Structure 1
């Protein structure tokens, strides 16, 4: 039976680059996929594009391309990535520039467009699926539909060696090479579901090989500083074996794979994707050797009639200030600092939508209890409001604690950021028309 090898080059926008290079150079890959786009990430990308129309793609794109383009093209490895984020066409052009700078002529690249549906939904109203309310309650600045794998597979069929997408379903990045290599039909629900599950297992890269799994004394994972990212050997039937490059850090065990299989799964019997509905309750995982996990048994059902859309909208500004206290009584002095700022903000009467007062190291995460007196704390105040100038006052009040607060405070940091929040709606498939733009270095 024919098979292909697909590697996971990244699991998020800020991921390490070295493991992807290692996969290209030693993984005997056919395809390398970079999954770099979360809902939060695309909101930040849309914000960047608002300020600069040539921006809006992954800021590490050039670094990744400089690292992997040469070895990938030399070995015939094709690259698929959602590093295009809010601007896939600009991402492709940036990658073409990198290729030309490196003297790599003749590389065929493509940008998959069509996920941007802001214009298409203008004037429409749709209920929000992740909270109460509807689209009419928002003032959208962006709207990106989750595309499936078939537009990417089409770009591969048209000869693209490097492909950049915007918002697509994460597993679709990995499913597309399978569709292209094996000629799977759009209604081959079983194989599409199997490929989707393989993509889901790979999409977080190092998370499958022990990253985010390690817990000393409970889940011990060797070599995390040299963590190797996973790859899949996928057969024509959609079943696969997960593994990693020999000698790299981390591990591939049933425990790792089972945990990743359940990651971000709402209903295991109905994992909704643009291409198929996968049934994880029929998934079979088996240890097939050291650092080898066999994946089989998945079944699928017809794809949904609608597509999910991430809608970005302005949600004000967040101002934040932090100050540190150390030594005996650190927590008490930190709490006094928070009390002072709280009283100051009340005196100023600022129109704040939401305020948080946290002692990092005591109660910022563990809201149900209080830790023993620590040796040091960070007093943090953060507030959200509609006005930039008012949000800036939060950091200013924390900084004023230097001479107007408890003894021993230091290391003040202040930040001010515009918030682009994300809500979700469903739209009919007929609203979305994917397209492909090609370029050559």
Structure 2
């Protein structure tokens, strides 16, 4: 049994940069590398891709990431855990094996399945966000339960070099190797809580290194173009030290760690995961200097009797159109264009939204609020939701018509239509959900 385990986080979302993971694998002296690449919306979109092609549905960057990382993790004896399996962990396993064989790398890959609970959902379950039956949201297309660390443990026990999951709670990706290496009792809620704190601090990768933290005026972070991702040294009592590879950009200190600790935490007394209801209120952070923060405390109670399920549904189509106005009276001309579109489409488009980018697109200021502002340029964006793609396309067409049927000086029109995947959540009894492991070797 190890007395210390080092885990690096090479990705905090699906579109994260590739280079920080490579640096961690090459120079971080890791035991484990975690790539956390899944969110509520991304798994629903992955289900759409799988429906179109049964060999797809895994993370779009899986091939690029593994092509770079497989030789390094094999050389440095690093085990990789990732949720890039998304909606299709088995297809992801096959793709990783294919990459390994093309490079003559001998590895064992484990895929964890069981999070797809679509067949268990009737539609009568109550959505957490709306307090109405799921079926009221629209046609359901996916349902994925958040599995916990226990689902990963069986894969770890196979000595697999690469472990691929679908929907697993983010902190569980980090907690599982700690349970495995330290032989922790999964019913020891204090240890489960401490391990969950560690996982939560690392799960967003570059955020704790100063990425999402940075503000060039109030919170200066140096060398962000080479932002390093974090790793953590965890000890058998659950204490830990968060750091990053020397020479990489960004920084880790009390401020970045505190922001990440509270990220997406609505109740620090009760942070629900499949493994534990964690208590963050007793966490103590100590700045050790040189991009090192010590983490102690934390705990938890109980293992929830239910699992959260992320449910995707067809939510219609969004049509969009954009056009720019610049120079004197740019805002007034953009407002006139917006009024023209509202009069032409207002009665036929649901949820019509008109933004004046550069003036009121983020804070939703009213026309009266923006009087007196004289921006030099404005980008008008019009968007609305319709039942069909054909109906949604009319929004962009009307914006394009502003070239000669609207105010003077409009240019740079862009129009597009996107099918919308909506997301709601519900709860399912955890005893209904079964997971299993599939193994293949190259």
Q: Tell me the TM-score range normalised by the shorter chain.
A: over 0.9
Measure the CA separation in 2 of the matches of 1:58 and 1:418: 19
Provide the residue aligned with 2:107 in structure 1.
107
How far off is 1:298 after superposition? 1.0
How far off is 1:19 after superposition? 0.5
2:123 touches 2:133 (CA, 8 Å); kept in 1? no
1:24 touches 1:71 (CA, 8 Å); kept in 2? yes
Measure the CA separation in 2 of the matches of 1:151 and 1:12: 21
How far off is 1:136 after superposition? 3.8
Post-superposition CA distance 1:66-93 (Å, at most 9, x none): 1111111100011001111111111111
Measure the CA separation in 2 of the matches of 1:102 and 1:415: 40
Pick the aligned partner of 2:357 from 346, 351, 360: 360
1:133 aligned onto 2:132: yes
Provide the residue aligned with 1:332 in structure 2.
332
1:373 aligned onto 2:370: no
2:271 touches 2:277 (CA, 8 Å); kept in 1? yes
How far off is 1:166 after superposition? 0.7
Provide the residue aligned with 2:436 in structure 1.
435
Equivalent position SS for 1:218? coil
Provide the residue aligned with 1:45 in structure 2.
46
How far off is 1:124 after superposition? 5.8
1:140 touches 1:314 (CA, 8 Å); kept in 2? yes
How far off is 1:413 after superposition? 1.1
Measure the CA separation in 2 of the matches of 1:295 and 1:45: 35
Measure the CA separation in 1 of the matches of 2:203 and 2:116: 22
Measure the CA separation in 2 of the matches of 1:97 and 1:333: 56
Q: How many residues align?
A: 436
1:319 touches 1:392 (CA, 8 Å); kept in 2? yes
Provide the residue aligned with 2:264 in structure 1.
264
Q: Which runs of 5+ in 1 are unaligned?
A: none
Provide the residue aligned with 2:245 in structure 1.
245
Post-superposition CA distance 1:160-191 (Å, at most 9, x none): 11011111100011111111111112201111
Equivalent position SS for 1:336? helix
Equivalent position SS for 1:250? coil
Provide the residue aligned with 1:219 in structure 2.
219
1:315 touches 1:419 (CA, 8 Å); kept in 2? yes
Provide the residue aligned with 1:405 in structure 2.
406
1:150 touches 1:179 (CA, 8 Å); kept in 2? no
Equivalent position SS for 1:281? coil
Post-superposition CA distance 1:120-177 (Å, at most 9, x none): 22x3622211222122424321100000011112101112110111111000111111
Provide the residue aligned with 2:150 in structure 1.
150
How far off is 1:385 after superposition? 1.4
Equivalent position SS for 2:49? helix
Q: How does 1:24-63 map to 2 (within 5 A)?
A: 24-63=25-64
Provide the residue aligned with 2:93 in structure 1.
92
Provide the residue aligned with 1:168 in structure 2.
168
Measure the CA separation in 1 of the matches of 2:128 and 2:316: 22
2:20 touches 2:228 (CA, 8 Å); kept in 1? yes
Residue range with higher mean Cα deviation, 365-374 or 134-143? 365-374
1:154 touches 1:180 (CA, 8 Å); kept in 2? no
Equivalent position SS for 1:314? strand
Post-superposition CA distance 1:200-244 (Å, at most 9, x none): 000000000100111122101111100000000001111100000
Q: Which runs of 5+ in 2 are unaligned?
A: none
Provide the residue aligned with 1:23 in structure 2.
24
1:2 aligned onto 2:34: no
Measure the CA separation in 1 of the matches of 2:334 and 2:99: 49
Measure the CA separation in 1 of the matches of 2:382 and 2:342: 9
2:253 touches 2:289 (CA, 8 Å); kept in 1? no
TM-score by length of 1: 0.96
How far off is 1:381 after superposition? 0.4
Measure the CA separation in 1 of the matches of 2:133 and 2:155: 35
2:38 touches 2:86 (CA, 8 Å); kept in 1? yes
Measure the CA separation in 1 of the matches of 2:135 and 2:382: 32
Provide the residue aligned with 1:390 in structure 2.
391
Change (3 A) 1:39 1:124: closer
Q: Which runs of 4+ in 1 moved over 6 A?
A: none
Post-superposition CA distance 1:259-293 (Å, at most 9, x none): 10000001100110101111000111101221000
How far off is 1:335 after superposition? 1.3
How far off is 1:299 after superposition? 1.4
CA RMSD of aligned residues (A): 1.3
TM-score by length of 2: 0.96
Equivalent position SS for 2:281? helix
Measure the CA separation in 2 of the matches of 1:25 and 1:284: 31
Measure the CA separation in 2 of the matches of 1:174 and 1:215: 29
Measure the CA separation in 2 of the matches of 1:41 and 1:388: 21
1:294 aligned onto 2:291: no
